[in-house]
């Protein structure tokens, strides 16, 4: 890292240009002794990304930033705080430390934290930033975490690992063995050094495949922020042979929606069904990712519209982990009914329906937005319906 970037005049320049057009800034030109303009642009772009995602870093003085990609790949402070609240103890080792956001929150729950990062430049940056943030119980190690475990006899209360997509892996990654480090390949090594392992993966990872690849999965946390799933957290407990519990959370500004279930219960229990009643319920993204389609109807006083629709209904309004709508009318779907809809502007959703939103908009000429919500779906009798609703 170039420590000259931390000089006050350069830091002031970075701060003043956070909202500047980068291309215009480059064309206009600027210069500082012994600092490349590209280095300063990197700092501006990375710091800008931290304003909402990493407010602790954004607000602190003399923080040094890696490239914007490192910021993009790191945990947000919201998700780092959540995962830190799941675990605690005397010691933890993060085998894939990255920018160090998770370790900062682990430092509040553990006496000692080891941060392993194979990128030596990034490790140096993290070490510098921890000093600025007055974090004193994290040891930064510029090394490969798996290699470190192979060379030590130390044990830890927890091991944390955030595998990334292999460089030679094409497209989206749905399996752990397509990631680095290859966690399934190193499970015996990990359990040699700890009885408790926490793994963070992309939300794209297939839950069933992940359970098949891993061992002793005691729980899986599906974490969403404002209805967008951000990560899956896998809790492995050495020797655990019980049923895996799935815990979902959708973190919103006002509150957090939580729902949990035993995975085998979802597989072994069925839903009760009904035609649309007074209210319509759409589960949040975390529940949908978790596949809790039957458990929603088992645990809550709602009925499902169809096995594959994943929409629910009731006569009495309930508190529900997702969006809630009042059904104003139910229209049997047909070409004539579609043309006669007295609506020019609405939000359209399709669930278990043969046509897409764009196709329906093209047919109806209904513009996006407004207070009306149209659900095109299939009911328990396999009839196609249009539900005209308003959001509560």
Q: What pLDDT was estimated at residue 26? A: 84
- Beta carbons within 8 Å of 214's beta carbon, 6+ residues apart: 176, 183, 184, 187, 199, 234, 236
Q: Is 93 helix (H, G, I), strand (E, B) or coil?
A: strand
Average of pLDDT values for 370-378? 96
Query: Distance (Å, rounded) from C-alpha 68 to C-alpha 72?
Result: 6
Q: What are phi and psi of 62, to 5 degrees?
A: 60, 35
- Beta carbons within 8 Å of 208's beta carbon, 6+ residues apart: none
Average of pLDDT values for 3-7? 94
Residue 365's nearest CA partner among 342, 389, 349 is 342
Is the confidence at residue 256, as pLDDT, over 90?
Answer: yes
List, for residues 25-70, the tens digit of each pLDDT value.
888 888 888 999 899 999 999 999 999 999 999 999 999 999 888 8
Residue 376's nearest CA partner among 356, 365, 252 is 356
> With left for phi above 0 and alpha for psi between -120 and 50, is residue 9 left, alpha or beta?
alpha
What pTM value is reported for the model? 0.92
Q: Is 257 helix (H, G, I), strand (E, B) or coil?
A: strand
| Strand ranges, E, within the chain | 89-94, 110-116, 138-141, 158-161, 164-165, 179-180, 196-201, 217-225, 228-237, 245-251, 256-262, 279-283, 303-304, 312-314, 322-332, 345-351, 367-378, 384-391
Please count the residues of the chain.
392
Q: Which residue has the tokens 């210069």?
A: 31
Domains of the chain by start residue, with CATH: 3-71 (1.10.10), 74-242 (3.40.50.150), 267-391 (3.30.2130)
Average of pLDDT values for 261-278? 93
Q: What pLDDT was estimated at residue 141? A: 98
Is the confidence at residue 173, as pLDDT, over 60?
Answer: no
């Amino acid at each position: 890292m170039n420590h000259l970037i931390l000089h006050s005049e350069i830091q002031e320049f970075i701060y003043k240009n956070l909202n500047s057009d980068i291309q215009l800034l480059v064309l206009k030109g600027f210069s500082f002794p012994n600092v490349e303009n590209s280095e300063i642009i990197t700092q501006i772009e990375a710091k800008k990304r931290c304003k909402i995602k990493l407010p602790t870093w954004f607000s602190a003085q003399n923080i040094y930033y890696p490239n914007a990609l490192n910021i993009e790949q790191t945990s947000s402070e919201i998700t780092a705080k959540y995962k830190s609240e799941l675990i605690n103890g005397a010691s933890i080792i993060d085998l894939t430390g990255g920018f160090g956001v998770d370790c900062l929150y682990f430092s509040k729950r553990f006496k000692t934290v080891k941060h392993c990062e194979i990128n030596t430049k990034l490790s140096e940056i993290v070490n510098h930033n921890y000093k600025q943030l007055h974090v004193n119980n994290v040891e930064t190690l510029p090394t490969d975490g798996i290699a470190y475990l192979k060379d030590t006899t130390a044990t830890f209360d927890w091991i944390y690992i955030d595998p990334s997509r292999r460089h030679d892996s094409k497209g989206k990654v749905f399996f752990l063995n397509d990631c680095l480090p290859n966690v399934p390949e190193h499970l015996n090594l990990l359990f040699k050094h700890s009885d408790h392992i926490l793994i963070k993966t992309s939300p794209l990872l297939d839950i069933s495949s992940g359970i098949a690849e891993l061992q002793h999965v005691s729980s899986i946390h599906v974490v969403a922020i404002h209805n967008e799933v951000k990560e899956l957290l896998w809790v492995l407990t050495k020797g655990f042979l019980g049923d895996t519990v799935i815990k979902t959370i959708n973190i919103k500004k006002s509150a957090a929606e939580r729902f949990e279930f035993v995975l085998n219960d979802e597989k072994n229990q069925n839903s009760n069904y009904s035609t649309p009643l007074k209210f319509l319920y759409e589960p949040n993204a975390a529940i949908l990712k978790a596949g809790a389609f039957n458990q929603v109807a088992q645990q809550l006083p709602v009925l499902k519209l169809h096995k594959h629709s994943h929409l629910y209904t009731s006569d009495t309004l309930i508190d529900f982990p997702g969006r809630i709508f009042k059904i104003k009318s139910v229209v049997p779907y047909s070409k004539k009914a579609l043309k006669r809809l007295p609506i020019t502007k609405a939000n359209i959703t399709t669930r278990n329906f043969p046509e897409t939103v764009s196709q329906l908009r093209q047919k109806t000429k209904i513009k996006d937005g407004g207070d009306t919500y149209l659900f095109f779906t299939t009911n328990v009798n396999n009839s196609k319906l249009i539900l005209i609703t308003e959001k509560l």
